[in-house]
């Protein structure tokens, strides 16, 4: 009896359109952020800090779903660029606090157009984008 492997068809996989879309979206963000000198992961870090600064490195890792080995070099580059400062928590020397500089806060104005520009470059309405975001959040929650 011949076995069927239809479940292994690339076009039937959930992972492939997620992977391909992630790469395409990240590439588009890179184009939109090039003028201000931010990489996509740096942009995500700045978004988290604009929402709630200061944050500990641990809080940033959790928020961005990154480990410290990935986040620390990224923060060093943001600090070298003058966007953030890192300092030890006086209450607990083991913790590092990350805070935006005035320059980091000012960068927010320079990238305020990015979300709308990205939405304008995809064939999704605002409600479809919201629905997709909710579905992806549900997917992440299920995987957690």
Task: Answer whether residue 98 is part of any domain.
Answer: yes
Contact 51, 83 (CB under 8 A): no
Per-residue model confidence as pLDDT tens digits over 79-135:
999 999 999 999 898 999 999 999 999 999 999 999 999 999 998 888 999 999 999
Per-residue model confidence as pLDDT tens digits over 25-45:
999 999 999 999 999 999 999
Task: Answer whether residue 5 is part of any domain.
Answer: no
pLDDT computed for residue 126 by the predictor = 86
Angle between helices 102-111 and 40-51 (to 10 degrees): 110
Task: Answer whether residue 118 is part of any domain.
Answer: no
Range of the domain at 31: 12-113
Contact 100, 55 (CB under 8 A): no
CATH number at residue 57: 1.10.10.10
């Amino acid at each position: 009896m011949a076995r069927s492997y239809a479940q292994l068809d690339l076009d039937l996989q959930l992972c492939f359109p997620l992977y391909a879309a992630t790469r395409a979206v990240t590439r588009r963000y890179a184009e939109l952020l090039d003028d201000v000198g931010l990489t996509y992961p740096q942009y995500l870090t700045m978004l988290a800090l604009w929402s709630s600064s200061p944050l500990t490195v641990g809080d940033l890792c959790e928020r961005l779903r990154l480990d410290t080995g990935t986040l620390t070099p990224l923060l060093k580059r943001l600090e070298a660029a003058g966007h953030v400062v890192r300092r030890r928590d006086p209450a607990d020397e083991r913790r590092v606090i990350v805070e935006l500089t005035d320059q980091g806060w000012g960068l927010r104005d320079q990238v305020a157009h990015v979300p709308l520009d990205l939405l304008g470059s995809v064939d999704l309405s605002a409600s479809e984008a919201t629905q997709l975001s909710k579905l992806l959040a549900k997917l992440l929650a299920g995987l957690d």
